[in-house]
Every structure is written in C-alpha cells, then in structure tokens.
Amino acid sequence: MGEPMRIRAQMAGDKVEVRVLMSHEMETGQRKDGGGNIVPAWFIQNIAVMHGGQTVLSAQWGPAVAKNPFMHFRFAGGRVGEKVSVTWTDNRGDKRTDEVAITAG
C-alpha cells in the first residue's frame, strides 16, 4: 500500500499550513518500456485531507500530477496537537492513510 507519506502540519498565524509529499509512481500510461510495451497507467485518483471529522481539502487527480506528488495548502480552525490525516486512493484500488499532529509555528 505504498510508502508512508511525509506530512507537515504547522500553525502559521491562525491557519494550519499543510505540506504533503506522497510516494507514488504516477505512471501516465503513455510511456513505453524497453521492449516497446506501454507501461499501464498507475496513479492516485482521489485525495482527502481530514481534520476533526471535516474534510479540509479533497482532490481528484489524473496521471499528469508529477511522480511522488506534493501538495501545499492552508486551512483555518486547527490547533496545536490536533490530528490531520491524508488518504489517497489510486486507480488500482490501493489506498493509504497517514496522520500527523499539528505543530506550533
């Protein structure tokens, strides 16, 4: 189910600054291997970031998101010590969730 994500959730003023680095091939389905065969598409399709039972960001991705995807955003209403979780699901049905506590800015 993939390598752990690296997630940082840090207070920045009254907002929580979230940076996520995922480990995923994000294979486009356009590339050919050494034998000339198409390498099948393999990419994250759905992302959800949760805090306190609420979705603070969700996304749908195609294969044009870069390998080992990165995203950075900010949400309001979080406090130091509260948990932020990130879940991805890819086109093979694989899924991974990782969680961190919000740190002081």
Partner 1 sequence: MNSVRREVLKAGGGVTVMALAVSAGLLRPEEALAQAAWNKAAFETRSFADTVKALGGAAAVENPGVRFASPTPEIAENGALVPVTVTSSIPKTESIAILVEKNPNTLAANFVVPNGTEPFISTRVKMGQTSDIYALVKADGRYYYAKKEIKVTIGGCGG
Rounded to a whole number of angstroms, the minimum distance from the CB of residue 62 to partner 1 is 4
Q: Which is nearer to partner 1, 7 or 63 (CB)?
A: 63
Among 3, 4, 23, 30, the residue binding partner 1 under the rule CB under 8 A is 30
| Closest residue by Cα to residue 87 from 52, 40, 55, 42 | 55
DSSP class of residue 40 equals P
Residue 35, number of CB atoms within 10 A of its CB? 5
59-78 positions binding partner 1, by CB under 8 A: 59-67, 69-77
37 is a contact residue toward partner 1 (CB under 8 A): no
Q: Does the protein bind partner 1 through residue 10 (CB under 8 A)?
A: no
| 11 touching partner 1, by CB under 8 A | no
Sorted by sequence, the CB contacts under 8 Å of residue 22 that are 6+ apart come out as: 2, 5, 44, 68, 69, 70, 86, 88, 96
Q: Does 5 bind partner 1 (CB under 8 A)?
A: no
Cα–Cα distance, 55 to 53 (Å, whole number): 7
Q: Which residues of the chain form contacts with partner 1 (CB under 8 A)?
A: 15, 26, 28, 30-32, 45-46, 48, 54-67, 69-77, 89, 92-95
